[in-house]
């Protein structure tokens, strides 16, 4: 390679290193949101996500060990039993102990993976003593939230159009919403999902939450944020033409700020007498134009 080629290669490597070094800073400015050059799981915002991280680390370590072992065994077999030193093929047809080992060892490995995975499933499913309850309903194509424990107010959440976002927040297009779901930090939040028209999915990666929103069914899960910030998610169940139009923004605030927000929201979203959503068979189809949807609901 010429000197100029080496310089270009060095500059490229330097750029990658700089981008990787900048990633933590970018992540800190965008809590619970995807960022450029992101290759791992999002930073944990609560205990469920931390448990998912621990389980992921366990499975990843097992995969690495198995991969190295199998690759090393293949390399050793190719070298040990190459044709140049083994002109006469072996007539061995079986090996009892070896066959027992490659049956028992995988079973043990699967048990090592299965036991903590079951614990994680129950940890996600069983809501501890809930401090507040939030009803989440997926609709084509927006989210409807209700706070039955805090005055029974409800509101809809739509994404903010790109041209209405300030330049410093343009990277949050299709993530930022007009009305965020607000929760207090350190509180166990019971999340009750229901469907209105088709199947949706309430998915907030940084909090480790994913539950379907199915018409005719009530599904329960929980979440907790251990520090303040905004945690973004999206509907990850294809639900129609404007599936992309269903981002989720969960803002975790102090208990004092949450109480202030509730007091304001009870006045702003005073809709306790709103009738229940009609059955799927009588539901009015939502408009297909996303701009008309947002304007009509506002």
Tens digit of pLDDT at every position of the chain (298 positions): 454 554 444 544 444 433 344 333 333 434 677 777 878 888 889 999 999 999 999 999 999 999 999 999 999 989 988 888 888 877 878 888 989 999 999 999 999 999 999 999 999 988 888 999 999 999 999 999 999 999 889 999 999 988 888 888 888 888 899 999 999 999 999 999 999 999 999 999 999 999 999 999 999 999 999 989 999 999 999 998 989 889 999 999 999 999 999 999 999 987 545 554 443 333 334 444 444 444 444 4
Interatomic CA distance for residues 76 and 57, integer angstroms:
28
210 φ, ψ (degrees, to nearest 5): -155, 115
Per-residue pLDDT, 292: 43
Same domain, 162 and 247: yes
Residue 20 included in any domain: no
Residue 24 included in any domain: no
Please, what is the Cα angle at 115 between 109 and 116, to 5 degrees? 105
Residue 17 included in any domain: no
Same domain, 69 and 196: no
Residue 28 included in any domain: no
Cβ–Cβ under 8 Å, residues 54 and 208: no
Beta bridge partners of 136: 145, 193
Same domain, 181 and 144: yes
CATH number at residue 209: 2.60.40.420
Domain range for residue 117? 47-83+93-125
Residue 280 included in any domain: no
Per-residue pLDDT, 22: 38
Residue 151 included in any domain: yes
Same domain, 194 and 79: no
Same domain, 261 and 140: yes
Residue 34 included in any domain: no
Q: Is 44 left (phi over 0), alpha (psi -120 to 50) or beta?
A: beta
Residue 263 included in any domain: yes
Same domain, 118 and 138: no
User: What's the domain count of the chain?
Assistant: 2
Same domain, 100 and 154: no
Interatomic CA distance for residues 244 and 263, integer angstroms:
32
Interatomic CA distance for residues 241 and 70, integer angstroms:
46
Same domain, 270 and 206: yes
Same domain, 53 and 79: yes
pTM reported for the whole predicted model = 0.74
Same domain, 136 and 270: yes
Same domain, 121 and 139: no
Per-residue pLDDT, 290: 43
Beta bridge partners of 155: 145
Same domain, 247 and 165: yes
């Amino acid at each position: 390679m010429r000197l100029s080629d080496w310089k270009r290669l060095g500059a490229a490597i330097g750029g990658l290193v700089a981008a990787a070094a900048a990633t933590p800073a970018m992540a800190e400015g965008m809590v619970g949101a995807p960022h450029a050059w992101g290759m791992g799981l999002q930073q944990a915002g609560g205990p469920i996500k931390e448990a998912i991280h621990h389980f992921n680390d366990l499975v990843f370590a097992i995969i690495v060990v198995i991969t190295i072992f199998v690759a090393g065994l293949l390399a050793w077999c190719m070298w040990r039993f190459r044709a140049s030193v083994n002109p006469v093929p072996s007539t061995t047809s079986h090996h009892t102990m070896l066959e027992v080992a490659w049956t028992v060892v995988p079973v043990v490995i699967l048990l090592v993976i299965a036991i903590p995975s079951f614990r994680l499933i129950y940890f996600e499913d069983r809501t501890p003593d809930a401090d507040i309850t939030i009803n989440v309903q997926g609709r084509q194509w927006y989210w409807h939230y209700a706070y039955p424990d805090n005055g029974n107010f409800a509101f809809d959440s739509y994404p903010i159009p790109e041209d209405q976002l300030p330049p410093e927040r343009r990277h949050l297009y299709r993530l930022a919403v007009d009305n965020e779901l607000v929760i207090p930090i350190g509180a166990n939040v019971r999340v009750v999902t229901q469907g209105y028209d088709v199947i949706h999915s309430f998915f907030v990666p940084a909090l480790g939450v994913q539950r379907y929103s199915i018409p005719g069914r009530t599904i329960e899960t929980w979440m907790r944020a251990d520090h303040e910030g905004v945690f973004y998610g999206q509907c990850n169940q294809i639900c129609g033409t404007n599936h992309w139009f269903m981002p989720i923004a969960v803002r975790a605030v102090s208990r004092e700020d949450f109480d202030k927000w509730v007091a304001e929201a009870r006045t702003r979203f005073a809709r306790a007498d709103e009738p229940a959503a009609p059955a799927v068979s009588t539901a009015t189809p939502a408009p297909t134009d996303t701009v008309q949807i947002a304007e009509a609901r506002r």
